[in-house]
Amino acid sequence: MKKHIIIACASLMTFASCSEGTMDYINKDTSNPPVEIVPAKFSLTDAIVGTSFATVSGPYAFYASTFTEQEFGTGNNQFRNAELRIKSEVAAATTYNNEWNQTYSTVANLRNIIKKTSEGGLNYTQVDILGMAQTLFALNFGVLTDLHGDVPCSEAGWGAEILNPKIDTQESIYNEAILGMLDAAIANLEAAGTVNNAGDQDVLFKGEPADWIAFAYALKSRYLLHTQFRNPAVLPLVIEAANKAIEAGFDGAELKVFNGTSAINPWYGFYRSRQYTGSSATVIDLMAARNDNRLAIYNFDFWEENIYGTPGNAEQAGYTQVLNIPTFIYKANNSIHLMSKSELYFILAEAKTRLGQDARAEFDAAIVASFADYEVSDAYPRDTKFVNNAAEYAASLPLSLEEVMVQKYLAQCRDEQIEAYTDIRRCKALGEEFIKLQNPLNTQAGSNYWPERFPYGNSSVVSNPAMEEAFVNIDIYEDKIWLFGGDR
């Protein structure tokens, strides 16, 4: 008996020893090199693509398009529910969970790039890549906080080091993670000069620091403008940043990696798989009233039924494969705008108009740029006869603050619905209503059903006590984000 006990004990000791070694080994990915030794430029590609797909032109934008009425939600499922303002869809933490997780995954990637290209890092001295990562970091948090309000930021993206990051105020995020980060990015990109460490791994600008400087200034003008309600004196700074972007040669930040087969535009993939969106009467009415040639592209009779969506129409919201669509939705190789040239010029036109300055040149340039964006999206010339009369059309329009905002709204139907959603809320905070939303279900039984913000992602709500408390205590229909008069 003693012999058997000794053998058993020896076996257990061996098993324990092997188990300890196994546990040290099991969490290591032996098929891929650890992230610590991967040069920053290779991570940059994923950061750009992730920002484009998940943050800027993914479901965040799809849902926003139904709230702005730039597209009509249909398909008898999620986007039908969003179109009908059903709270179980619009206010659920699970609704935005994937893009919440994907955006924070991009944040973690950007943290690694910044660490590697900062002092002591693997790629220290590659200040051009550092500036690129800082620019993308600001953009990702710009989207996160504009949609959700206060979010984890300073402690987010550090992996296992901080499992339950604290929630930062929107004010601090704007000051530090957006505007402060963009200033740091510009300084690093300027210090880089003409050095190009990223090359083709930068699928946005091929590693050219000058293009990233222009992009960073353009984003700075956007996010400064967002603070207008909190800082009415900000408009001269908006103009200054926008002019610096133009001086640096900003011509739009577009991801052009789609071949239409193995790599497809996310809007195309979304429509192709589900047919969840269609043309909206709100946009059609605005274009028709102005004899806008873009209408032929926006309201394309794809199914040869000639039916477009009337916001809030329950019957139409249940349709599939019936409604007219914008042709740019059904173009697999269309680019994604991280920020369009037209947006920059509309920002300038708005700021100058608000200050009583002559904005005619900027207004016209914005419309010309928008028409060019629509024209390359004309995938179905079968029934469309688009004439790019942008300059003539612009000259026919009155230059007023209302027209600037209407034209910006029409331009951003292309793929910038998140910015349109932010503009509608910003103008509302300023006591202005330039885009008159038509969906009667925005108000139901005397209560607001149009969301002032998006709920947090479910993964954080169920795992982080601070996020759970915030989710429970924030009413997305009544509690405005800090930028627009709320306190969180």
At 375 the pLDDT is 81
**Encoded tokens for 376:** 């390359």
**Encoded tokens for 77:** 């499922």
DSSP 185-241: HHHHHHHHTT--SSGGG-TTTTT-HHHHHHHHHHHHHHHHHHTTTT-GGGHHHHHHH
Cβ pair 189, 244 in contact under 8 A: no
Query: Going by C-beta distance under 8 Å and a sequence separation of 6 or more, which residues neighbour residue 285?
Result: 438
The amino acid at 204 = L
Provide the residue-wise pLDDT of the chain in tens; the chain has 488 residues.
433 433 333 333 343 444 555 545 455 555 566 677 889 999 999 999 999 999 999 999 999 999 999 999 999 789 999 999 999 999 999 999 999 999 999 999 999 999 999 999 999 999 999 999 999 999 999 999 999 999 999 999 998 889 999 999 999 999 999 999 999 999 999 999 999 999 999 999 999 999 999 999 999 999 999 999 999 999 999 999 999 999 999 999 999 999 988 899 999 998 888 888 999 999 999 999 999 999 999 999 989 899 999 999 999 999 988 999 998 888 899 999 999 999 999 999 999 999 999 999 999 999 999 999 988 765 555 556 678 899 999 999 999 999 999 999 999 999 999 999 999 999 999 999 999 999 999 999 999 999 999 999 999 999 999 999 999 999 999 999 999 999 99
Cβ density class 106-125: b for 16+ within 10 Å, e for less: bbebbbbbbbbbbeebebee
Q: Which helix (H) or strand (E) holds 473?
A: helix 465-473
Query: Strand locations in 269-366, DSSP E?
Result: 277-278, 336-339
At 4 the pLDDT is 41
From CA 289, how far away is CA 78, in angstroms rounded? 31
Q: Which long-range contacts (CB under 8 A, 24 or more apart) does 60-63 make?
A: 60/96, 60/99, 60/143, 60/147, 60/418, 60/454, 61/415, 61/416, 61/417, 61/418, 62/267, 62/270, 62/276, 62/277, 63/90, 63/95, 63/96, 63/454
Q: Which of 145, 222, 154, 151 is nearest to 182 (CA)?
A: 222
Backbone angles phi, psi at 188, to 5 degrees: -70, -40
Q: How far is CA 253 from the centre of its chain?
A: 13
Q: Which long-range contacts (CB under 8 A, 24 or more apart) does 343-346 make?
A: 343/218, 343/222, 343/408, 343/411, 343/412, 343/416, 343/419, 344/218, 344/221, 344/222, 344/242, 344/245, 344/246, 344/250, 345/369, 346/404, 346/407, 346/408, 346/411
Q: How far is CA 360 from the centre of its chain?
A: 28
At 5 the pLDDT is 38
Three-state SS for 255?
A: strand
47 to 112, 113, 140, 166, 242: CA distances (angstroms) = 11, 9, 10, 23, 25
Domains of the chain: 37-484 (1.25.40.390)
Q: Which of 25, 110, 94, 84 is nearest to 460 (CA)?
A: 94
Q: Which helix (H) or strand (E) holds 73?
A: strand 72-73
Q: Which of 457, 439, 476, 488 is nearest to 72 (CA)?
A: 439
Q: Which helix (H) or strand (E) holds 447?
A: strand 447-448
Three-state SS for 332?
A: coil
Three-state SS for 313?
A: coil
At 330 the pLDDT is 87
